[in-house]
Structure 1
Amino acid sequence: MLSLVASPTFGRTALPAEGGGAGAVLRQVLAGGPMTRPAVGLAAGLSPAAVSRHTADLIALGLLRELPPPDGPPRAGRPRLPLGIDTRHHLACGVHIGVPWLTFALLDLRGRVVAHERIPRQGDADEVLRAVRAHLPGFAARRAAGRSLLGVGVVTGGWVDPERGVVVEHGPLGWHDVPVRERLAGVTRLPVHVDGHARALARAELLFGAGREATDLVQLFVGNVVDAAIATGGEVLRGPRSRAGDIGHLPVPGSTEPCLCGRTGCLQATVSDRTLARRAYEQGIVPRPDLDLLIARAAVGDRSALRLFDERLRLIAPAAALLLNVLNPEVLVVSEAGLAVAPELGRTLHAQVLAHSRPEPAPLVAPGSFGLDLLAVAACAGVLDSAYRRPMELRTARAS
């Protein structure tokens, strides 16, 4: 069981300055730390008194810590100890629901994967959520090593409504209107953050990855589901009914792949992991249609495997360029398995996207920051995003 442990401030009325100020301090230290209190105040636009108050609260919560003074000659007066993110006490927990696998993960406050496990995804929505309920407590108890949990994230592809905690539609899984948060709420007695994996990865990129110095970002996710997420002003957009970023049915000229929507040539059907694995099997690159086998071949430099990933990136590029042309972000991040194991494919991505987009100045076109850990990071990203935005509202639970 996971026993509830309230944070020192949970349940009390927040001070007027507490909401945004504490989060601003925490995010600033994440982005620029280690930092002294005066440096935090200057960067965040807060008074010394506000920084002092928020810092004390965040240290008490185990989110910040004072670090040893830097090397150098001693200074007169009280030493200004730098502040850093404290990763010793808390973890974010999450699960990614994919087509072949359920991925369980724990991340620290810097977005680093502490532990992850995966089990086969089997059965319909009821069976899958029962499997999550059965596996999650034991996973957390085994792997958290005494650290408390800040919340539980549940992410998947397709059309997901985070406000209601519902997977509205996931074509490859055959899910419709599945109340994920309601079904899992009792397993941890902690907040359950439900979202689509592209939006979750966009939040992770803004906090820890290629978007750390940006506020306008587009995240393109390519797996068995192909979708996008859009961030502007540092906020990830949902759109009406949480459908922003649905690009899976853009047409691919020349493609005859049948799609679950009833048409042929849709982007998702053409470039999905399942399609790629099937093509690899048909061409004799792998002994069965298994994406993990294809990734392993690409990782050791197999030219045939790399060619298939190269071809997929060329098919993705026009959609990526369309997102650039319409949205004009500072950063376009593409999360795709080939890029994770063969960084040289990034040259193909960059050249092909720019070939289909407007002339310079071009934004940064970057592979996803999290490699093959992207599903583990996505699973926990909503929990960490909430912690950095509203740290004074946190609850924690001890895994036991």
Structure 2
Amino acid sequence: MGKPERSAGDGPRNGRAHRGDDMRRLNTAAVMKHVFSHPGLSRSEIAAELGLSAASVTNITSTLLEAGLLRALPSPVGAQGRPRVPLEIDTQSSLVLGIHLGPRTSGVVLMSLDGREQASVLVPHAGKDPGESIDLVVAAAQRLMAEDATGRQLLGTGIATGGIVDRPAAVIIDNPGAGWRDVHVMDLLGGRLPCPVIVENNARAAAQSELLYGSGQRTNDFVLMVITADIGSVMVADGRIRAGFSQTAGQIAHLRVSDRAVRCSCGKTGCLMVMGSDDAVAVEAVRRGLGQVENIDHVLELALEGNELAIAVLEQRNRYVARAASQLIDIHDPELLVVAGTPAETPAVFASLVAEVARTAHGGAGAAGRVVLSSDHIFSLSLFAASTMVDAVLADPLAHAHSEGPSGL
């Protein structure tokens, strides 16, 4: 397709002012990002750290305050001289909408700019085609906004789903889990959700969330694996999310991780998809005689209760994931390999994953020491979807504050 790579680092980097035709827009983004990363700074401190004039920062912050993107905190008690007014991101006036389009159930969330869930709902749509599924999701989103977003501006909508997604075109090229191909999301939405709308792949949305709220606070050089019913990975280098030449980077579902003759839909055997996905865990649990297991949630519940067979199934799954992780570490040599998804919900068996990386990665124990669980807020693909819109707001706050979308609120 030849689409340009999407970058999470579009716009100004923290700590740098900009000059040029877009100076005001870029400097506004620089101020917004700086307050996001360093809450509690005053205007004079922001100006000094970004190298901008005090007058410019005053004008910019006044605009952002009026737009409901920043808010002023009370001045410190007992301060001498001119009152120092700390600033932070406004988490009350503005929200973003996040939607995870799942194969059988979708999640809808209203999220504040600090990454916190304000309200959410699950929407079952098993067996529905893309149009019917999206209609159900839109109706649920509209009810959620009417009930929980009254009087607050909605800055836009982030949508994420599994499989191959062309973000610039907003097209789901292939979502094998849902059986969807060539889905033109914007046509099906018909302008019924707050604009702008971003359509992204699950793993890249998770990486964006990790950059904003998780391991990105520690490093901007990592590889993220998302292990759920869908499987994917993302390389983040210098804060930039690599989508790839044809928007398909990070497709690890068909890496061979086992010699067992478990056949995959791709025609091969032993793929990560059929050995390490959530559905694979449920199938393996039944094969081992765990009982009436319908999905991975049952396995997780049994493991938390101390069921040894459930724990063994999850540990084996982690070893399969680790073999794929070892390949990613050997190829990309990231500072961190971050694991998100259901393995992050079972930290008690995470040691099995780390031990297998130590055994199979070229770097051995040194490589294993770089493997961490997602440090993001509570795992939610809907929150990850919403984070793509937060990133867009940070990159161009004035465009979003003044954009006109169908919030109806």
Query: Structure 1 length normalisation: TM-score?
Result: 0.89
Residues 1:194 and 1:343: Cα distance change in structure 2 (over 3 Å): same
Structure 2 residue aligned with 1:50:
56
Q: Shift in Å at residue 66 of structure 1?
A: 1.2
- Structure 2 unaligned segments of length 5 or more: list them: 1-19
- Alpha-carbon distance in 1 for matches of 2:407, 2:130: 28
| Matched residue count | 384
Q: 1:239 aligns with which of 237, 244, 252?
A: 244
Quickly say closer, same or farther: Cα 1:191–1:230, change in 2 above 3 A.
same
CA displacement, residues 100-151 of structure 1 (integer Å, 9 cap, x when unaligned): 3111111111011111111223222222122223322112212324322111
Separation in 1 of the partners of 2:60 and 2:276?
47
Higher relative contact order (Cα pairs below 8 Å, separated by 6+ residues):
1
1:154 and 1:193 in contact (8 A); partners too? yes
- 3-state SS, counterpart of residue 241 of structure 1: coil
Equivalence for 1:315: 320
Q: Compute the displacement of 1:32 (Å).
A: 2.0
- Asked if the contact 2:154–2:194 (Cα under 8 Å) also holds between the matched residues in 1, the reply is no
- Which residue does 2:33 correspond to in 1? 27
Alpha-carbon spacing, 1:124–1:255, altered in 2? closer, same or farther (3 Å):
farther
- Structure 1 residue runs of 5 or longer lacking an equivalent are 1-13
TM-aligned CA distance change 1:376 to 1:297, over 3 Å? farther
Counterpart of 2:82 (choices 78, 85, 89) is 78
Aligned-partner SS, 1:242: coil
Find out whether 1:138 has 2:143 as its counterpart. yes
1:49, 1:329 → 2: CA distance? 41
User: How far off is 1:302 after superposition?
Assistant: 3.4
1:106 aligns with 2:110: yes
Bigger mean CA deviation after superposition, 29-38 or 351-360: 351-360
1:376 has 2:382 as partner: yes
Task: State how far apart, in whole Å, the 2-side matches of 1:398 and 1:124 are.
Answer: 26
Equivalent residue runs for 1:245-394 within 5 Å: 245-340=250-345, 342-357=346-361, 358=363, 362=367, 364-370=370-376, 373-394=379-400
Change (3 A) 1:18 1:297: farther
User: Per-residue CA shift, 1:253-311, capped at 9, x if unaligned?
Assistant: 31322212122221112211111112223334352322222222234443332322221
Query: Residue 5 of structure 1 aligns with which residue?
Result: none
CA distance in 2, matches of 1:298, 1:45: 54
Identity %: 32
Could you tell me how far 1:238 is from its partner in structure 2?
Answer: 1.1
User: What residue is the counterpart of 1:88 in the other structure?
Assistant: 92
Indicate whether 1:211 and 2:216 are aligned.
yes
| Alignment match, 1:4 | none
CA gap of 1:164–1:278, structure 2 versus 1, over 3 A, is same
Mapped partners of 2:260, 2:315: distance in 1: 16
| 1:36 is aligned to 2:42 | yes
Aligned CA-pair RMSD: 2.2
300-309 or 121-130: bigger deviation:
300-309
Which AA in structure 2 matches 1:149? L
- Structure 2 length as normaliser, TM-score? 0.87
Distance 1:57 1:330 in 2: 38
In structure 1, the residue corresponding to 2:256 is in which secondary structure? coil
Following the alignment from structure 1 to structure 2, what is the Cα–Cα distance between the partners of residues 286 and 104?
Answer: 32
